[in-house]
Amino acid sequence: MNAAICVQGLSKHYKDVRAVDNVSFDVPQGHCFGLLGPNGAGKTTTIEIMEGIIPATSGQVHYQGQAVDSNISQQIGIQFQHTALQDFLTVKETLSLFSSFYTKTLKQEQLIELCDLSDFLNRDNRLLSGGQRQRLLLALALINDPNIVFLDEPTTGLDPHARRNFWQLIKNIKAQNKTIVLTTHYMDEAEQLCDDIVIMDKGKIIESGTPHQLLSKHFQEIFIYLPKAQVETALAHEQGWKVMSDRVEITTANVEKTLALLMHHKVALDGLHVKSANLDDLFLKLTGHSLQA
Ligand SMILES: Nc1ncnc2c1ncn2[C@@H]1O[C@H](COP(=O)(O)OP(=O)(O)OP(=O)(O)O)[C@@H](O)[C@H]1O
């Protein structure tokens, strides 16, 4: 396989902490790769080693077969969570400033179109909305026309509409065959965008694969929810259903059989909700807690 990124046996040890403990994975060219995990799992440390920002204790990172060296910043793009933007500069001026840092750059018109910046090009950086700021930061990550783009929680703090707009931009970038490494605390984002995901916990990889592979491996069941008032507690206990404060949660591998049972017991089906497992459920199952704090 022609991997854009190959991470082999990566470890980072601090005095008494194994922040990253023998982690290996490949990212194929043109894929969106999601690195997920609870706080302190080792994601930032892994990514900072991949970006050449901190050295590994052991292990290697190769880009298209080449080891990371000091020249790597010219070849990759990074959207940091907290990039400080220069006050009193407009978006257009900021693009020009950042262009001057690189030997090879994308044409400004292309960046403006790709990141949908045209409506606020002459606005001072300080006056940008959260979504506009993230679009500018994305443009800055793409300014050197990198083959590989790192996006660190790019939609944290955005409203649902701005998040969806941003997802479309990421899809557009992916359509250009660029490789994307994404960290996110939003499982719906990972499900929408990622071809492959790796879930880390305590410095180690605990699961990896496509979202579909992981969900079908871990969940054969479907969830059925019913308002609590409609289900007799005795029946719920008898069937081993989970009684929550406002609803009863039924986990079943056979929806038809469960519905027939509910009807047999004359349970009203108003407000019934059927749900397949998603990455949130997977995350909870694997790590014991939900990713979104
Ligand atoms: N410079 C450091 N010195 C000592 N320990 C560190 C250092 N940097 C990180 N760690 C520890 O390494 C572990 C992994 O941290 P890391 O920041 O990589 O996790 P993370 O998965 O990115 O978490 P988050 O989602 O909270 O950003 C944590 O226990 C952290 O406290």
Nearest residue by C-alpha to atom 2 in ligand 1 = 14
- pLDDT digit string (tens) for 74-89? 789 999 877 788 888 9
The verdict on residue 282 lying in a domain is no
Q: Which domain holds residue 267?
A: 220-276
43 in contact with ligand 1, CB cutoff 6 A: yes
d(CA 56, CA 46): 9
pLDDT score, position 28: 95
The verdict on residue 286 lying in a domain is no
Residues ≥6 apart with Cβ < 8 Å to 124: 87, 88, 89, 90
pLDDT score, position 290: 65
* 215, 275 contact by CB (below 8 A): no
Asked if residue 152 and residue 200 are part of one domain, the reply reads yes
Higher-scoring residue by pLDDT: 20, 65: 20
287 in contact with ligand 1, CB cutoff 6 A: no
The verdict on residue 11 lying in a domain is yes
**Pairing verdict, β 196-201 and 32-36:** parallel
* Neighbour tally for 128: CB within 10 Å: 17
pLDDT score, position 156: 86
Asked if residue 124 and residue 234 are part of one domain, the reply reads no
Provide the ipTM: 0.97
Asked if residue 225 and residue 201 are part of one domain, the reply reads no
Asked if residue 272 and residue 171 are part of one domain, the reply reads no
184 in contact with ligand 1, CB cutoff 6 A: no
| 282 Cα to the center of ligand 1, angstroms | 23
Asked if residue 251 and residue 128 are part of one domain, the reply reads no
pLDDT score, position 281: 86
What is the overall mean pLDDT for the chain? 91
| 149 Cα to the center of ligand 1, angstroms | 22
By the 10 Å C-beta count (0-12 exposed, 13-18 middle, 19+ buried), 146 is classed as buried
How many distinct structural domains can be found in the chain?
2
Last residue of a domain, one of 216, 236, 254: 216
Asked if residue 35 and residue 127 are part of one domain, the reply reads yes
Q: Which two structure tokens, joined as six digits, stand for 54? A: 């901190």
d(CA 28, CA 211): 16
d(CA 91, CA 97): 10
| 143 Cα to the center of ligand 1, angstroms | 29
Ligand 1 pocket check: which of 12, 15, 36, 44 to mutate, most ligand atoms within 8 Å of Cβ? 44
Asked if residue 109 and residue 44 are part of one domain, the reply reads yes
284 in contact with ligand 1, CB cutoff 6 A: no
The verdict on residue 107 lying in a domain is yes
Percentage of the chain modeled with pLDDT above 70: 97
Last residue of a domain, one of 201, 216, 231: 216
41 in contact with ligand 1, CB cutoff 6 A: yes
Q: Which atom of ligand 1 is least distant from the CA of 44? A: 22
- pLDDT digit string (tens) for 164-223? 999 999 999 999 999 999 998 888 899 999 999 999 999 999 999 999 999 888 888 889
| 203 Cα to the center of ligand 1, angstroms | 9
Question: What does the H/E/C string look like for the chain?
Answer: CCEEEEEEEEEEEECCEEEEEEEEEEEECCCEEEEECCCCCCHHHHHHHHCCCCCCCEEEEEECCEECCCCHHHHEEEECCCCCCCCCCEHHHHHHHHHCCCCCCCCHHHHHHHCCCHHHCCCEHHHCCHHHHHHHHHHHHHCCCCCEEEEECCCCCCCHHHHHHHHHHHHHHHHCCCEEEEECCCHHHHHHHCCEEEEEECCEEEEEECHHHHHHHHCCCEEEEEEHHHCCHHHHHHHCCEECCCEEEEEECCHHHHHHHHHHCCCCCCCCEEEECCHHHHHHHHHCCCCCC
CATH of the domain at 68: 3.40.50.300
Asked if residue 62 and residue 81 are part of one domain, the reply reads yes
Higher-scoring residue by pLDDT: 64, 225: 225
Residue 40: which of 19, 11, 57, 13 has the closest Cα?
19
Q: Above 90 in pLDDT, residue 103?
A: no
pLDDT score, position 286: 86
Asked if residue 71 and residue 130 are part of one domain, the reply reads yes
The verdict on residue 37 lying in a domain is yes
- pLDDT digit string (tens) for 115-144? 999 999 999 999 999 899 999 999 999 999
The verdict on residue 289 lying in a domain is no
Mean pLDDT across the stretch 34-53?
92
Q: Above 80 in pLDDT, residue 293?
A: no
pLDDT score, position 83: 79
Asked if residue 233 and residue 100 are part of one domain, the reply reads no
pLDDT score, position 93: 95
Query: What is the residue type of 175?
Result: A
| 207 Cα to the center of ligand 1, angstroms | 19
Band (pLDDT 50/70/90 cuts) for residue 1 is low
Last residue of a domain, one of 184, 216, 248: 216
The verdict on residue 97 lying in a domain is yes
Least confident of 16-25, 41-50, 222-231, 274-283: 274-283
Q: Which two structure tokens, joined as six digits, stand for 280? A: 């949130």
14 in contact with ligand 1, CB cutoff 6 A: yes
Mean pLDDT across the stretch 92-108?
92
Give the best-scoring range by mean pLDDT among 38-42, 84-88, 183-187, 265-269: 265-269
Percentage of the chain modeled with pLDDT above 90: 71
The verdict on residue 159 lying in a domain is yes
pLDDT score, position 239: 94
* 43, 37 contact by CB (below 8 A): yes
Asked if residue 245 and residue 203 are part of one domain, the reply reads no
Asked if residue 256 and residue 127 are part of one domain, the reply reads no
Q: Above 90 in pLDDT, residue 271?
A: yes
pLDDT score, position 2: 67
Mean pLDDT across the stretch 221-239?
94
